[in-house]
Structure 1
Amino acid sequence: MYCVKKIKDDLFWVGGSDRRLALFENAYPIPRGISYNSYVLLDEKTVLFDTVDRAITGQFIENVEAVLDGRNLDYIVVNHMEPDHCATLGEIVRRYPDVKVVCNAKTVPIINQFYEFSVDSRAIVIKEGDTLNTGKHTFTFYLAPMVHWPEVMVTYDMTDKILFSADAFGTFGAMNGNLFADEVNFERDWLDDARRYYSNIVGKYGPSVQTLLKKVTPLDIQILCPLHGPVWRSDICWYVEKYQTWSSYAPEEQAVMIAYGSIYGNTENAANILASRLAEHGVRNIAMYDVSVTHPSVIISEAFRCSHLVFASATYNGGVFSSMEHLLLDMKSHNVQNRTVALMENGSWGVLAGKKMTEIISEMKNMTILDNMITIKSSVKEDQLADITAMADAIAQTL
């Protein structure tokens, strides 16, 4: 049975959620599931905005057919061709053979890469600023390359002031009946997933996001319709400001995150002592993560949030503890920058973790590495407590 949600009298959400999927893109844990958003407009011409992942094909088709209620589908707007939003495109074309595919020039070859049907005969290829009139509604298109694929675009409904924003402003998390962000406690229950989604999926492409924001922030946006997560109809500026912060790589908060890679608990002990010293300085809400049990996507999200990062690692195979090395290389590939960093290293012999961590972090942009790196040989000794206190002093002074 279909399950649709009305956004406006002529605009409907026809997407669905997947709570069984363990890893989004087979990479990122999603314990709260994921939603795939798609929208149908009933104007003089009917319009479908994007499709969904193959996992919810049955639900999606029932939803589309219920909203169309026997009408033909005139247009499908393809804002983003990634399979979680285009896997059912072929099914839609098969069911509605006269449908026109509205996309840009970079989208056409990607459609041909995924599908056997010929898109060329049915494509309406748009350029930046082109418009499409469907009766009451007129749409303008803005190209958004590398947010986060090269073919991405967003669609603005000039009539009802609605932005269909592709993967921008999306978030992990399944929909639980409430479609709109103002129907949930977004800051409490969704913001962490929104930040983790942005930092890991889009975060590498901050300059491209900034370019898109310059295009769309002057628009009068009354409703924001992303391809994942809640639809926004109030407090849109608050969420856009988050994107301004994240995409400029400015820390969201003056806060400290400590990530440690410990084999037998001695490096963890040093990290715990540092956290306690920071707390004595009045530093609040310190975040601590064991890199062996915490997925890198969570720590990368925290690196986008926090101004100060501490990495404590055992030496392993003559280098950085493997889970820590994976994290740091992942941070580098996601373009983390503009942070203050403190380092702690450990090793029973040939202590090299600090040197190797410094090399990786130095390849990131505008990372200030504090001078007083702490070196532990096997376990923390009494005479090293002063060094840990000095590190806490240095971090507190720069907060």
Structure 2
Amino acid sequence: MDSTIQSPRQGSNLLESAASSLLNLLGRLHDTPSHPDPAALKSNIIEEFKAFEARAQNLGVERESIFWGRYALCTAIDEAVLSTPWGNSSIWRDQSLLVTLHNEAWGGEKFFQLLQKLLQNPARNLDLLELMYICLAFGFQGRYRPLPDGHTQLQTLRDNLYRTLRNQRGEYERELSIHWQGAALKQNPLVQYVPLWVVLAVSGVVLLLIYFGFTMSLNTQSDPVYTQLHDIARNVQTVVERKPLPPAPSIPAPPVTEPPPPPKITLLSLLADEVAQNKVSLDESLSQALIQVEGDGLFASGSVKVKEEILPLLQRIAEALNQIEGRIVVVGHTDSVPIRSLRFPSNWHLSRARSKAVADILEKQLADPKRLESEGRGSAEPLVPNDSPINRARNRRVEITLLKQ
């Protein structure tokens, strides 16, 4: 599907407003390569559907529109999940959202039957049609997915739906003021002596300042949205399990005739010196290991360039990771103090860039770079409350998680 989403709307769509968090989640699911707890994700989404219904009712949306809006969203989210690498092996395969909330399993067909029925009276069903258009724009294909020319048919249907919605909403007025009149002013003679390049340069500076101001304003409002999305589709935080040792056998073991096997290699043993010197903190279990490096030690304030003195430490970590198989996830975290710059409009952008910087260094040392992935989570997962400089320093960190095979 074409990833460009045109918006045929003019005015307020109450149904879309109530479903904004679910639509944001739908747009993100296609790019999710893995998820450690799909069951928890499904439970969170079901709770969000309840909140969606409550918001829509408070806004005065008709019950029938809420019902079919939920049906369309369930169908689209189910398809998005089942198209991911982890979806078909999860709880969704046998118990989708549509089965749970509507006791049906043929949404890919019924979605388009409903769409054709609503198009018979588009003026009355405008909000619901716009919601279904957004589902299509986010990649929902339904019954067209397996067809040889399904993409072409679906693109035609989506374009026709867009034109219908635009005709109903009408074109928006492009002029800020229709009846404006310019004031007749005498030209200042000084203008004749100002070179054109000066005018252009000043105009460029003004436009740059305006752009910078709008960017800062936009990202001031985007940080809470990142946090809300993280709460809805949160990857369940990796927790290192510490299991008790099994009880000693009550029957004496037979005499050992062969030398004991060599002890199993662990990150804790490979990085013992670094842990003892407080260069890193490390928790390890049989299934995974979590390495934490404080961000203040890795980067200068507001920077994504790893300090030169830290490179040997990252090389040691990479050498240790080379000796143990498993997937490696590098995650960047920040404190809650907002960052506002053209390069990093929000804390999420800064944390993403820092995790990638560390991952790029590790990648050069790893025998199998395909094991490695990186992501940023901004200030969404603090270790401690961000209520003091010391605590904020603890929350600025990079975590390297090894998921052992």
TM (normalized to structure 1)? 0.30
What TM-score comes out, normalization by structure 2 length? 0.29
Bigger relative contact order, structure 1 or 2 (CA pairs below 8 A, ≥6 apart)? 2
Q: Which has the larger radius of gyration?
A: 2
More strand, by proportion: 1
